[in-house]
Amino acid sequence: MSQKPEDFFKHVISHSKEYGYIFQSSEIYDGLSAVYDYGQLGVELKKNIRDYWWKAMVQLHENIVGLDAAIFMHPTTWKASGHVDAFNDPLIDNKDSKKRYRADVLIEEHIAKIEDKITKEVEKAAKRFENFDAAVFLSTNARVKEYQDKIDAINARFKTALNDNNLEDVKQIIIDLEIVCPISGSRNWTDVRQFNLMFSTSMGSVSEDANTIYLRPETAQGIFVNYLNVQKTGRMKIPFGIAQTGKAFRNEIVARQFIFRMREFEQMEMQFFVKPGTEMEWYEYWKKARLNWHLSLDLGADKYRFHDHLKLAHYANAACDIEHNFPFGFKELEGIHSRTDFDLKQHEQFSGKKLQYFDPELNQNYVPYVVETSVGLDRLFLSILSSALKEETLEGGDTRTVLNLPPALAPYKAAVFPLVKKDGLPELAESIVKDLKFDFNIAYDEKDTVGKRYRRQDAYGTPFCITVDHQSLEDKTVTVRHRDTMIQERIAIDKLSTFLEERVSLKSLLKTL
Ligand code: ATP
């Protein structure tokens, strides 16, 4: 069933709530803006995604170890990292609607609209010509070239304005492009200002002695300040990585896209420490490895693309995003950054402690360079949930809502049903659950018709439904129904565990990497 993207996005949000995936934080008090809670199914999916990332990073790499650093850190950390002075977003207000926007996002959305026009031209031409060659068309069509030149010109001007911190010109770009506020429809903009995204609080009970400290805006700094602890106690040899998952906090200016942009969110980051001069090799390596990891989820290769950064952050010498095609278009899912030796050098300078590595092969000390992979767990969750959610029309005109989640990530791996609530079927079904529950998260359901129970599990994303019927009492077999194909097969009860293990374990997914 085709739906407008904005309607589909609403459907994702309502499905998340209806089935216990995601609730708005403190909903009974009308919610807290851009803060969300994960419900009974959401917490399982989130945990499974985190586990898959962790195992792919730490368990499959001998030279990557984990860390769990505290959210609070010494305030000087954030001076050293540059966040106190430079962790800003350019904001702009529309004077008529009083709505606030990120100036860079307004410009990027304008560019995305021009890109859409190019896509439409290509689609139109593909319909018109047989043997259509998109590459030839893109390079020869005058209208497409005009659009592309426009995009290049905006990008070039925008990049210069950002690099020079020329906020007046950022505003002028918005005016020149005739960008209007989507709410008021007016071009009555304020000046562009920088806004620091860090949340602060105070530590200590006596107000005069209290220190201003920050809620970490990224998990990476916890890794940097522990670099030497881990390297020495873990006897790590370069190249090696430290992986961490945990909460991060940003006072986002605009937070209107559900769990895509939250004020409290979770990051999964890995800092890979390398010999200076080898960082570009490792940057390419991690770009490929991370894209591969996303592709292994089998949600569609066309849903991912790389986007090189126009403006490099103050610490990076190369950076790109893996973008995902969310219900509202291609947006950043994961960042891969070559962070040079910036962070470790800054921490050396601010702490007065050496953070070097003695390289036995070179017989020399140096501050390692760092390649970072940084993905938002909540964004990843949204990318998976929205790619998996389908409305299907079945033979006979009936419809069903199904979450085609990768089986290894699904909250429940299987649901067990007794066909009827008598004749000893519930007891046999319960004994199957008892047996499987040590290895798998299993649902048990005996309410309503089996058809209704199938639909419920489809909406949860449960890959397999196991039905116990009268034949099961005689021959110790059950019906296993596959979520995606709806095919049913008969399987011996004592083979269920192996059957599931092969199809729903993280191992089955990890082996594809
Ligand atoms: P954006 O440009 O979308 O603001 P960013 O470039 O500031 O993101 P990074 O600092 O590179 O993001 O953070 C790494 C990852 O953390 C991002 O790729 C994203 O998945 C996640 N992330 C960042 N900010 C948020 C947020 N406010 N809510 C949810 N996830 C976030």
Nearest CA to ligand 1 atom 1: 332
Tell me how far CA of residue 372 lies from CA of 194, 279, 318, 350, in angstroms. 26, 10, 11, 22
Q: What is the model's pLDDT at position 209?
A: 57
Ligand 1 centre to CA of 376 (Å) is: 6
DSSP-assigned beta bridge partners for residue 364: 359
Answer whether 26's CB lies under 8 Å from 252's CB. no
Does the Cβ of 267 fall within 6 Å of ligand 1?
yes
DSSP assignment of 427-489 equals HHHHHHHHHHTTTS-EEE--SS-HHHHHHHHHHHT-SEEEEE-HHHHHHSEEEEEETTT--EE
Does the Cβ of 78 fall within 6 Å of ligand 1?
no
Nearest CA to ligand 1 atom 23: 376
Does the Cβ of 265 fall within 6 Å of ligand 1?
yes
Buried b (16+ CB within 10 A) or exposed e, 381-396: bbbbbbbbbeeeeeee
Q: What is the model's pLDDT at position 222?
A: 98
Ligand 1 centre to CA of 508 (Å) is: 29
Beta-carbon count within 10 A of 408 CB? 22
Mind listing the domains of the chain with CATH numbers?
A: 41-75+197-393 (3.30.930.10), 88-194 (3.30.40.230), 395-510 (3.40.50.800)
Ligand 1 centre to CA of 218 (Å) is: 9
DSSP assignment of 265-301 equals EEEEEEEEEE-TT-HHHHHHHHHHHHHHHHHTT-S-G
Does the Cβ of 469 fall within 6 Å of ligand 1?
no
Radius of gyration of the chain, Cα coordinates, nearest whole angstrom: 26
Q: CA 226, CA 219: separation in Å to the nearest integer?
A: 12
Token pair 């259509």 is found at: 132
242 Cβ contact partners less than 8 Å away, ≥ 6 residues apart: 64, 65, 66, 67, 223, 226, 227, 230, 270, 271, 273
Q: What is the model's pLDDT at position 116?
A: 87
Answer whether 101's CB lies under 8 Å from 253's CB. yes
Q: What is the model's pLDDT at position 375?
A: 98
> Which atom of ligand 1 is the closest one to the Cα of 89?
4
Does the Cβ of 457 fall within 6 Å of ligand 1?
no
Ligand 1 centre to CA of 325 (Å) is: 15
Q: Where would I find the H helices in 55-133?
A: 76-80, 83-86, 103-128
Residue type at 173 in one-letter notation? I
Q: CA 283, CA 296: separation in Å to the nearest integer?
A: 20
DSSP-assigned beta bridge partners for residue 214: 200
Ligand 1 centre to CA of 451 (Å) is: 41
Ligand 1 centre to CA of 456 (Å) is: 33
Does the Cβ of 376 fall within 6 Å of ligand 1?
yes
Q: What is the model's pLDDT at position 255?
A: 74
Does the Cβ of 261 fall within 6 Å of ligand 1?
yes
Does the Cβ of 379 fall within 6 Å of ligand 1?
yes
Q: What is the model's pLDDT at position 164?
A: 85
Answer whether 333's CB lies under 8 Å from 380's CB. yes
Which of the listed residues 25, 91, 379, 382 should we mutate to test ligand 1's pocket, taking the one with most ligand atoms within 8 A of CB?
379
Does the Cβ of 332 fall within 6 Å of ligand 1?
yes
Which of the listed residues 218, 374, 377 should we mutate to test ligand 1's pocket, taking the one with most ligand atoms within 8 A of CB?
374
Angle at CA of residue 197, ends 223 and 353, nearest 5°: 35
> Which atom of ligand 1 is the closest one to the Cα of 255?
27
CB burial of residue 184 (10 Å; 0-12, 13-18, 19+): middle
Q: CA 314, CA 161: separation in Å to the nearest integer?
A: 15
Angle at CA of residue 378, ends 376 and 382, nearest 5°: 115
Residue type at 150 in one-letter notation? K
Does the Cβ of 252 fall within 6 Å of ligand 1?
yes
Secondary-structure percent of the chain, ordered helix, strand, coil, rounded to 5 = 40, 25, 35
Which of the listed residues 101, 106, 267, 290 should we mutate to test ligand 1's pocket, taking the one with most ligand atoms within 8 A of CB?
267
Ligand 1 centre to CA of 420 (Å) is: 49
Of 280, 267, 422, nearest in space to 340 by CA: 280
Using a cut of 0.75, tell me whether the model's pTM lies above it.
Answer: yes
3-state secondary structure of 217: coil
Nearest CA to ligand 1 atom 8: 332
What does each of the 513 residues of the chain score in pLDDT, given as a tens digit? Answer: 467 888 899 999 999 999 999 999 999 999 999 999 999 999 999 999 999 999 999 999 999 999 999 999 999 999 999 999 888 888 999 999 999 899 998 998 999 899 888 888 888 888 887 777 777 777 777 888 888 899 999 999 998 988 888 999 999 999 999 999 999 999 999 999 988 899 999 887 666 656 889 999 999 999 999 999 999 999 999 999 999 999 999 998 877 799 999 999 999 999 999 999 999 999 999 999 999 999 999 999 999 999 988 777 777 889 999 999 999 999 999 999 999 999 999 999 999 999 999 999 999 999 999 999 999 999 999 999 999 999 999 888 889 999 999 999 999 999 999 999 999 999 999 999 999 999 999 999 999 999 999 999 999 999 999 999 999 999 999 999 999 999 999 999 999 999 999 999 999 999 999
Does the Cβ of 104 fall within 6 Å of ligand 1?
no
Nearest CA to ligand 1 atom 29: 261
Q: What is the model's pLDDT at position 210?
A: 61
Does the Cβ of 368 fall within 6 Å of ligand 1?
no
Does the Cβ of 221 fall within 6 Å of ligand 1?
no
Answer whether 171's CB lies under 8 Å from 188's CB. no
Of 268, 267, 282, 269, nearest in space to 340 by CA: 282
Q: What tens digit of pLDDT does each residue of 410-439 get?
A: 999 999 999 999 999 999 999 999 999 999
Does the Cβ of 375 fall within 6 Å of ligand 1?
yes
DSSP-assigned beta bridge partners for residue 325: 330
Q: CA 39, CA 300: separation in Å to the nearest integer?
A: 27
DSSP assignment of 113-177 equals HHHHHHHHHHHHHHHH-TT--HHHHHHH-HHHHHHHHHHHHHHHHHHHHHHTT-HHHHHHHHHHT
Does the Cβ of 372 fall within 6 Å of ligand 1?
no
